Structure 1
């Protein structure tokens, strides 16, 4: 997953003709590891450190080193970028920690992750801001029409990218989560995903700086992502989403580098 966000951030830099920005890229990489492990394992670990299994302790140590990497590169971020990561940090914190009033939640966890149907929207929002707005702010690019369109495109793409995972997790997710496949079924979920890929592709034509190679790249990645969505199901193989779907941003990056 960290490689996916790293790839999407690098894609942004290439799309706006920016140099390889080690600070932005490595910050996003380490922040993804730290944030993901925090959200995923906080509910398991909480404060029972002495009774943690060895594998979970290893993850905590790995996450700690990733946090050190995050902190190191965060030090070199400019002020505007730090404001953005503060907002993203708060969203991530609320996504995992039970602080908000329980009347808004489906159970007693009281975090954003448990609000019915909200999970995929939060992830898409955080990823789109982190992989588009963060590197552009860090490189002092004016947030213009092209940047805003790219943020919307990235939100749509990440949203669709989450759908094979949502379909896979139908076997495991509590019905209280109200995921899209739980609410409308697998077939309609796939239809919505395909429909969302249409504006993802055609929004490129509304940018002030239109590039022919980017149109070709978007067409290829749209087609391949649509195929992975169409063929996803509840009984998908272990690596279908966890490897192949997660690898799509890396494939997108390779396309951008090849067609550059």
Structure 2
């Protein structure tokens, strides 16, 4: 069990799990828009997420001088370097339009991590901003990039997918914020810090309900299967919201909750 726990911790700490979620969400976007046989964007998102998340997490740790993960840090740095090479390889496979879009969302990641203005904090520490930057970045990587790469023009359906993905990510981040409410710096002004845990849960339920309502406004290829799977994932996240509290273990959100998009994708692959 000790060995298994170490492997699981490395899998989570190295951002492989969240990267697999990004891969799954890109694949879901491609499925719902009928895009077949193109794994370049999904693999670019996977390796880019490993690099981006590790950069954000361990830059913050270096700034705070924390040392508790020093033993596995070298392995994570090595994995991040390999992922950077793979990310660059798949980046070269993308069209110029997709590359330019990727640069825009990469800029958001840098803004989130690095203090660009003298005597100013990075965007991660701006009051109430973190959740919006995270949501927009995930929409960009998992919705905009695969659709731009496939040459799908902007339409109402694209806008609806982007809105649904933002609501999905926003709801997931709410669970993280509830679990971390005791540990987050009060300066962050996360949603549960501002309105309390119970109101945050109600907000999450409302956002998930809006996500499902938006499904009925699609103009093309609307059928029962997409709604069924989105109902499945929204119901699962609602359950996580209901049972979320500040005493949950780190695995509650970082492993089990982030498994929801992966599970959603696997169900589609199987059926």
TM-score by length of 1: 0.91
Aligned position for 1:253:
265
Match for residue 191 of structure 2 among 156, 180, 186: 180
Aligned match of 2:76: 59
1:72 aligns with 2:84: no
1:128-169 residue CA offsets vs partner (Å, 9 max, x unmatched): 111011111111111211111101100000000111111111
- For the residue of structure 1 that corresponds to 2:160, the secondary structure is helix
**How far does the alpha carbon of each residue in 1:210-251 deviate from its partner, in whole angstroms, 9 at most, with x for none?**
111111111221111111111111011332111110000011
Matched-pair contact (CA < 8 Å) for 1:214–1:256: no
Q: Which runs of 5+ in 1 are unaligned?
A: 103-107
Displacement of 1:67 in angstroms is: 0.6
Classify 1:254/1:55 alpha carbon distance in 2 versus 1 (closer, same or farther; 3 Å). Answer: closer
TM-score with structure 2 length normalisation?
Answer: 0.88
Greater CA deviation, 134-143 or 151-160?
134-143
Q: 1:200 aligns with which of 202, 207, 211?
A: 211
Matches within 5 A, 1:1-260: 1-45=18-62, 53-102=70-119, 110-209=121-220, 210-259=222-271
Tell me the SS of whatever aligns to 2:207: helix
User: Corresponding residue for 2:13?
Assistant: none
Q: Secondary structure at the match of 1:135?
A: helix
Contact 1:7 1:249 in 2 (8 A): yes
Give the conservation status (yes or no) of the 8 Å contact 1:10–1:20: no
CA distance 1:44–1:224, change in 2 (3 Å): closer
Q: Structure 2: which 5+ residue stretches go unaligned?
A: 1-17
Q: Which residue of 2 aligns with 1:105?
A: none
